[in-house]
Amino acid sequence: MSSTPSSDNQRLDQRSAAPVAGHEPGTAGQEPVLSVRRLRVEFPTRHGTLVALDDVSFDIAPGEVLGVVGESGAGKSMTGNAVIRLLEPPGRIAEGEIHLSGKRIDNLPEDEFVPLRGRHIGMIFQDPLTSLNPLFSIGDQLVETIRAHLPMNEREAREEALKLLCEVGIPAPESRLDSYPHQFSGGMRQRVVIALALAARPEFIIADEPTTALDVSVQAQILALLKRLCADHGTAVMLVTHDMGVIAETADRVAVMYAGRLIEIGPVDEVVRNPQHPYTKGLMASIPGITKKLERLYQIEGSMPRLAAIPSGCAFNPRCPHAQKRCRDERPDLMPAEGSRAACWLHDPVDPLPPRQDVEGREVSHVR
């Protein structure tokens, strides 16, 4: 459609005061590009309200890659969807704040929020096969995206589209501009999707399992591409993935989610090599190849609770070997724990819960 020169630019530049006092460690010194505070997402249903995200807070610094991990259903996609305001109805943000470059965005009216998408917050979805409209050529889809954000005419936008396709490594882009999505392989389509998401040079993108649906052989290429482009443009990334290998290789920090809550967050090295939350310990231990010294694979007993049946106190307490009365009564907030921060009473700075030990005096873990 017609170009809408982004007036939101100015708005975002008149930065209001820092959203909330005290950035989290790891983004110190810089104003975060994204700051999520006490975010709560609810789904009102006939049988009561489901709480899909509960009290989630985190920051992402400019240019930083934050990896987000957790079992399927932990709320990773929900977090991204809430930030870019694409929650499926009746899901809604019930509490909390979202700030983009210092400007609060969760309470903007819809027509002021729409131009932020693509221009300031980009998004890449899991499945490149279904992310592109099959009835429009990729040139059309690129041009319309570019022109939605930048003051360009059709010809200039096509030039720009060619540049973008070059940048994401599509061979002979002039000849591919008028091709339709079905004429591309999965990997190539995901490259086009990346070009679309980055077309207006957003300062922050959400990549929700961007390689999960791809052939293993192209996953690494696509990730390398994403990493390189974001590094080149200084784009911050929220990278949702199942793959701890990808996190270890790509992310600066990692956030671990469980049952709609953020339970541990910290620098990748710390969280991967020295996890602090009992759940993260189990998660890392269950992944082969991350901690080599393991002689056997651990598995956490039980499974993550459904939204309708999240236990009181610490959501992990039914599966935690250290769980005690306090864990069932009081919900722990994120607390400093060695190099990261974990939501676990074992790390209460005032009155830490004593970890349970086995007969030989070693800390108990989730051996089955």
Chain positions 159 to 188 lying near ligand SF4, rule: CB under 6 A, are none
- Interface mask (CB under 6 A) for ligand ADP, residues 8-47, using x and -? -----------------------------------x----
The torsion angle over the Cα atoms of residues 335, 336, 339 and 341, rounded to 10 degrees, is 20
175 binds other proteins (CB under 8 A): no
Among 77, 79, 145, 190, binds other proteins (CB under 8 A): 145
Tokens of 180: 């339709």
Tokens of 65: 């890659």
Q: How many helices (H) and strands (E) does the chain have?
A: 13, 12
122 binds other proteins (CB under 8 A): yes
Chain positions 62 to 81 lying near Mg ion, rule: CB under 5 A, are 77
Q: Are 210 and 190 in contact (CB under 8 A)?
A: yes
Among 144, 156, 269, 348, binds other proteins (CB under 8 A): 144
Question: Alpha-carbon distance 262 to 297, whole Å?
Answer: 24
Among 317, 340, 341, 366, binds ligand SF4 (CB under 6 A): 317
258 binds ligand SF4 (CB under 6 A): no
Instruction: Candidates 13-21, 60-68, 123-131, 237-245: pick the segment binding other proteins (CB under 8 A).
Output: 123-131
Cα angle 364-279-275, degrees, rounded to a multiple of 5? 85
Q: Are 138 and 176 in contact (CB under 8 A)?
A: yes
Q: Which residue lies nearer to ligand ADP by CB, 5 or 90?
A: 90
Q: Are 54 and 39 in contact (CB under 8 A)?
A: no
CB neighbour class for 182 (10 Å; exposed up to 12, middle 13-18, buried from 19)? exposed
86 binds other proteins (CB under 8 A): yes
Among 46, 182, 292, 293, binds other proteins (CB under 8 A): 182
Residue 264, helix vs strand vs coil: strand
Instruction: Candidates 119-127, 169-177, 214-222, 320-328: pick the segment binding ligand SF4 (CB under 6 A).
Output: 320-328
How many whole angstroms from its chain centre is CA 135? 30
Instruction: Candidates 67-75, 140-148, 213-221, 342-350: pick the segment binding ligand ADP (CB under 6 A).
Output: 67-75
The torsion angle over the Cα atoms of residues 220, 226, 228 and 229, rounded to 10 degrees, is 160
Q: Which residue has the tokens 């929020």?
A: 113
58 binds ligand SF4 (CB under 6 A): no
CB atoms within 10 A of CB 24: 17
Give min distance, CB of 353 to ligand ADP, in A: 27
317 binds Mg ion (CB under 5 A): no
Q: Which residue lies nearer to ligand ADP by CB, 51 or 142?
A: 51
How many whole angstroms from its chain centre is CA 97? 16
Question: Alpha-carbon distance 325 to 328, whole Å?
Answer: 5
CB neighbour class for 135 (10 Å; exposed up to 12, middle 13-18, buried from 19)? exposed
Give min distance, CB of 13 to other proteins, in A: 18
Q: What residues make contact with ligand SF4 under the rule CB under 6 A? A: 277-278, 314, 316-317, 320, 322-323, 327, 332, 344-346, 353
Q: What residues make contact with other proteins under the rule CB under 8 A? A: 1, 4, 84, 86, 114-119, 122-123, 125, 127, 130-137, 144-145, 148-149, 180, 182-183, 193, 196-197, 199-200
Q: What residues make contact with Mg ion under the rule CB under 5 A? A: 77
